[in-house]
Structures are given as structure tokens and as C-alpha cells.
């Protein structure tokens, strides 16, 4: 990759280390200047305030997301496995949120109205093919009032074929009711409407149609793409999130839409999840000296409403969290994204879409008690071992009956494991298993 991308400043080698100067195919003068250009073109984007969560499609080595971090923006960088030497692995090695993912035939595992801005710079996706079905999936994930930034040759090159592609893109986006806010240089920026008024006022028979009223845009697991536009809630849910950082701790409106079988209110569950996150992080920081661990890439394997991730931000940890919502429980992803966090739906009976040795810390609270009737717990532990970097830690909080089995498995995998009491004392029904993946495995 260093050789192939030498003229674009993607990546260089200095002595025995890789360096990432911030260049890209469309921003050869650096990501900072490119981001400044976007901000000047559309000031209302307001990175770090109105725009907090971004999706970077076809991310290269994730310099766009990396340089947005200092502006208070959390960018999820996605790309398929490709010829450029595992770019997602490079992104994760840099400490940038990233996943292996591709626009193909099924919905991506992110909720509706997840991203305040979606970015595609030479991302290699043909948005207009098959009557725009891939752009419809992007539209599903883009927040009402959010922006799509497109940097591709049809925007700026004056060749007959490319000019025709531009016309097709403009026609499709206008039928989606997107507003072309600005076109300048390499960039075109569209804005999604805040509600369905424009959709409903289109001429009869205009394609693509609105999805049926009973379609759930947050139904994600193994769901095929749909050739229709996801409806926006009439009550404005999703569009009316607070600005950052207030949105991190404000219960969002979409909390009321989460399907949870519980006797207490959703708001009380949200508050309890936040209190749990605050207490856990404060305890781990004080008793287990988390500040000294210097972890960067964190995964919460059963994230709830994102309480752990929010607590890490509130307590000034320099890290990011992949909030995983298991398919076996309620889909809380809309709330997680409305808080300005990132996450993904996953079935822990299957492998997670990431490269080996890419996370510094894994946290699992109650996961194994929930999944033991569906999955082989040893398989989940082996997947954790694959994901975890040597020298990384796994914190597992679970019932006594489950935790002892996990302790045996951890020992068998060569982890350094330690069983500890929780704050409830030695006779509590739950224990904490603290595990370290050794840098070198012991020889038997």
C-alpha cells in the first residue's frame, strides 16, 4: 500500500513505523484542509455540534475519520476487504472506529437515522445502479436533515460519460427529495429533508415509492435491501436530537420506541443503565487503575443504551467504544446513535466483522447468561480471543454458575484470569472475571 499510494500521502514509513500524513485520493492536500472546505461550503454542518456521528464509506486508511476526532466528531469508517492491504485493519491500528462492511444485497447493521453525515470520497459504490437501491439504503441510515458528501469524478470532470452519470445522480436525489445544497470543486453536498412532506407531494407513480407503513427501518439482521424510501416518523423522532455534547446524557425521544418487556418505564431503564455505566467505570478506574492501561479500542459486547461508553466519555477516557447490541435482546441502537455514540447489531453465535487482534478491551455484562441457551459459550470466548490484542483485557460480569465455566475456558486459552467479587460482596450471585491476554502464550 505504501508503494501503491505513494503519490496521495495515504501512508508512509518512517524507520520502523507507519505514518499517516492525512492524504487521500480526493484530498491530496490533507484531510484537515478538506474538512475545512466542507465546513466553509455548508457552515450548518457544524462539525462537533450539529454533526457528531459520521459514516465514511470506502474509507481508505480512515484519515477522514481520524482528523475529525479533534473536532468532536465520531466517525465510523467502513470498507469491504479489498486489494489495498486490509484498510480497516490499518484504521483500527490507528485507534479509529472501523468495521468491515459493504453495500451489497442486505441492510447494513446500523439503525435508521443513525448518521448526521455520510461521506463518500472515491468509495467505489455505484449509487444509481438498480434504480438507486444502494442510495436508498444510505437514505435509510442518514438522519433527517443530515448531509451526504460526495467526492467523485462525475462531480467535477467534464467528460460525456461522467456528465451523464452526474445527471442520473441529480435526477435520483431529487426524487428522494434531497436538496443539492452546494457543488464546488471536487465536492457535492446534499441535505435530506426533515419530514415526509416532500415525499407525499410527489406526482403519483414517482419512483422510488415510500416503504409500506408497516416496514420497520430498524429491522436489520439478514434483511434484504428494499427498493423503497424509509418513512420518517411524523412526530419528528430522530430529527430533533440535541447538539453535542448535550445529546450524550439527554434521554432521546426515540427511547420511547424501543420494544422492551419491562414493568418500569423506558426512561427509568435508561437512567439505570447510565448509573450502572458510571459506577462500573468509576470502580474500574479506582480499583483496577484503568487510567494506566492506556486502552483505545473498546468493545461493549452487550451495550444496553450505551451507558459504559457514555461514562468513559464523561470521565475523560481517551478511547472510543463499539457498542454491540445482540440480536437476542431489544434493539437499542437508535438510542445509542441519538446519544452521539456508534454501535452495531450482532449475533454472538457468529463471528464479528473485524480483523484479529484489533481491540484493547472487551466488556461483557450478563452476555453469557443470555446467550448460553443459543450459542456455545466456548465459541464466544474463542471469538473474544481472536478480537483481543495481546496484552489486552476482557472484563466479564456474569452469574457464578457461568463465570466458573468461563474461568476454565480462559485458563485453557492461555489467558491470565482472576475471579473477583463485585461490590455486592463474596456471597453475591454475580462475579467479575478479569482476564488478560498474554503477549506470549505459555508452552506446555
* 322 three-class SS: strand
Span of 14-28, 320-334, 413-427 with lowest mean pLDDT: 14-28
Is the pLDDT reported for residue 7 higher than 50? no
CA distances from 97 to 65, 171, 321, 347 (A): 8, 33, 8, 20
- Mean of per-residue pLDDT scores for the chain: 91
pLDDT tens digits along 358-392? 999 999 999 999 999 999 999 999 999 999 999 99
Distance CA(392)–CA(410), nearest Å, equals: 13
Strand partners, 179: 191
- Span 388-411, mean pLDDT? 96
pLDDT band at 314 (very low <50, low <70, confident <90, very high): very high
DSSP state of 340: T
- Span 320-325, mean pLDDT? 98
CATH superfamily of the domain spanning 12-201: Vaccinia Virus protein VP39 (3.40.50.150)
Query: Taking the model in full, what pTM does it have?
Result: 0.94
pLDDT for res 273: 96
CA angle (113 as vertex; 226, 235 as ends), nearest 5: 105
pLDDT for res 12: 57
- Span 238-260, mean pLDDT? 95
pLDDT band at 11 (very low <50, low <70, confident <90, very high): low
Q: What are the start and end residues of each CATH 3.40.50.150 domain in the chain?
A: 12-201, 246-437
Q: Which residue did the predictor score with more confidence, 299 or 264?
A: 299
User: How many C-beta atoms surround the C-beta of residue 103 within 10 A?
Assistant: 23
Strand partners, 300: 323, 363
Phi, then psi, of 262 in degrees rounded to 5: -150, 155
The three cell numbers locating residue 409: 475456558
Residues 6+ apart with CB under 8 A from 308: 277, 280, 281, 300, 321, 363
Is the pLDDT reported for residue 181 higher than 80? yes
Span of 7-11, 249-253, 274-278, 298-302 with lowest mean pLDDT: 7-11
pLDDT band at 6 (very low <50, low <70, confident <90, very high): very low
Percent of the chain with pLDDT over 90: 79
Distance CA(30)–CA(346), nearest Å, equals: 35
CA angle (304 as vertex; 140, 340 as ends), nearest 5: 50
The three cell numbers locating residue 71: 473536532
Residues 6+ apart with CB under 8 A from 12: 2, 6, 18, 19, 20, 21
**Max Cα-Cα span within the chain:** 75
pLDDT tens digits along 32-78? 999 999 999 999 999 999 999 999 998 778 889 999 999 999 999 99
The three cell numbers locating residue 118: 455520510
pLDDT band at 116 (very low <50, low <70, confident <90, very high): very high
Query: Could you identify the residue written with the cell 441502537?
Result: 333
pLDDT band at 81 (very low <50, low <70, confident <90, very high): low
Percent of the chain with pLDDT over 70: 91
pLDDT for res 442: 57
Q: How many angstroms from the chain centroid is the CA of residue 172?
A: 27
Is the pLDDT reported for residue 326 higher than 50? yes
CATH number for region 246-437: 3.40.50.150
Q: How many residues are recorded in the chain? A: 444
Distance CA(364)–CA(239), nearest Å, equals: 31
pLDDT tens digits along 330-355? 999 999 999 999 999 999 999 999 99
DSSP string, 386-405: HHEEEEEEEEEEEEHHHHHH
Q: How many angstroms from the chain centroid is the CA of residue 206?
A: 33
- Span 286-297, mean pLDDT? 90
The answer to whether the beta carbons of residues 307 and 277 sit under 8 Å apart is: yes
H-helix or E-strand spanning residue 175: helix 160-175
The answer to whether the beta carbons of residues 84 and 112 sit under 8 Å apart is: no
Amino acid at each position: 500500500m505504501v508503494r501503491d499510494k505513494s503519490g496521495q500521502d495515504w501512508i508512509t514509513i518512517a524507520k520502523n513505523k507507519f505514518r499517516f500524513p492525512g492524504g487521500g485520493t480526493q484530498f491530496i492536500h490533507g484531510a484537515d484542509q478538506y474538512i475545512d472546505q466542507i465546513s466553509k461550503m455548508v457552515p450548518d454542518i457544524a462539525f462537533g455540534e450539529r454533526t457528531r456521528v459520521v459514516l465514511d464509506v470506502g474509507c481508505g486508511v480512515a484519515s477522514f475519520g481520524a482528523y475529525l476526532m479533534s473536532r468532536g466528531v465520531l466517525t465510523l469508517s467502513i470498507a469491504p476487504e479489498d486489494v489495498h492491504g486490509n484498510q480497516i485493519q490499518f484504521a483500527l491500528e490507528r485507534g479509529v472506529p472501523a468495521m468491515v462492511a459493504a453495500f451489497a444485497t442486505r441492510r447494513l447493521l446500523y439503525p435508521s437515522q443513525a448518521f448526521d453525515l455520510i461521506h463518500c470520497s472515491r468509495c467505489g459504490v455505484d449509487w444509481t445502479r438498480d434504480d438507486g437501491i444502494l442510495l436508498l439504503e444510505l437514505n435509510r441510515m442518514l438522519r433527517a436533515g443530515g448531509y451526504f458528501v460526495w467526492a467523485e469524478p462525475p462531480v467535477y470532470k467534464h467528460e460525456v460519460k461522467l456528465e451523464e452519470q452526474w445527471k442520473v445522480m441529480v435526477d435520483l436525489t431529487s426524487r428522494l427529495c434531497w436538496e443539492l445544497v452546494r457543488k464546488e470543486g471536487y465536492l457535492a453536498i446534499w441535505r435530506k429533508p426533515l419530514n415526509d412532506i416532500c415525499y407525499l407531494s410527489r406526482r403519483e407513480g414517482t419512483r422510488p415509492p415510500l416503504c409500506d407503513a408497516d416496514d420497520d427501518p430498524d429491522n436489520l439482521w439478514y434483511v434484504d435491501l428494499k427498493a423503497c424510501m424509509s418513512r420518517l416518523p411524523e412526530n419528528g423522532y430522530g430529527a430533533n436530537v440535541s447538539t453535542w455534547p448535550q445529546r450524550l446524557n439527554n434521554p432521546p425521544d426515540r427511547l420511547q420506541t424501543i420494544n422492551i418487556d419491562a414493568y418500569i418505564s423506558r426512561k427509568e431503564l435508561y437512567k439505570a443503565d447510565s448509573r450502572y455505566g458510571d459506577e462500573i467505570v468509576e470502580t474500574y478506574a479506582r480499583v483496577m487503575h484503568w487510567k494506566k492501561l492506556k486502552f483505545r479500542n473498546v468493545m461493549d459486547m452487550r451495550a444496553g443504551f450505551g451507558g459504559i461508553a457514555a461514562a468513559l466519555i464523561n470521565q475523560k477516557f481517551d478511547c472510543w467504544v463499539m457498542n454491540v447490541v445482540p440480536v437476542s435482546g431489544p434493539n437499542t441502537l437508535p438510542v445509542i446513535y441519538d446519544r452521539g455514540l456508534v454501535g452495531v447489531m450482532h449475533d454472538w453465535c457468529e463471528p464479528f466483522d473485524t480483523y484479529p487482534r484489533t481491540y484493547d478491551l472487551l466488556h461483557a455484562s450478563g452476555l453469557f447468561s443470555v446467550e448460553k441457551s443459543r450459542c456455545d459459550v466456548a465459541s464466544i470466548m474463542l471469538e473474544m480471543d481472536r478480537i483481543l490484542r495481546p496484552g489486552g483485557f476482557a472484563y466479564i460480569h456474569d452469574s457464578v454458575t457461568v463465570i466458573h465455566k468461563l474461568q476454565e475456558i480462559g485458563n485453557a486459552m492461555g489467558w491470565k484470569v482472576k475471579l473477583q467479587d463485585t461490590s455486592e460482596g463474596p456471597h453475591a450471585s454475580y462475579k467479575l472475571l478479569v482476564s488478560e491476554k498474554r503477549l506470549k502464550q505459555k508452552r506446555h
